[in-house]
Amino acid sequence: MRFMVFVRSPRPLVAQHGDALVRAGVLLDAGDLVPGAFGVSGYWLIDVRDQEEAVERIRRIHLPACVVEIRQVAVV
């Protein structure tokens, strides 16, 4: 299953914290989005067994003062 993980933080974090997902072999894509009113946003696209694994992998990453949203991506 594929999940999009959105991260909002006061500074860019996606590139430097995606290494753990790369080592695990689950990262398909990552990037930073244009800064908005809530600070900097970025995303990871990951491919894991289920939502529980997605949540567990993201919990292992130190994301101080961040808002994280995990959404399943429909694969057609």
Show the domains of the chain with their CATH numbers.
2-73 (3.30.70.260)
pTM of the model: 0.84
How many Cβ atoms are within 10 Å of 61's Cβ, its own excluded? 17
pLDDT digits (tens, 9 = 90+) for 32-75: 887 766 677 889 999 999 999 999 999 998 888 889 999 999 97
User: How are strands ordered across the β-sheet holding 27-32?
Assistant: 27-32, 40-47, 2-9, 67-73
Alpha-carbon distance 49 to 26, whole Å? Answer: 10
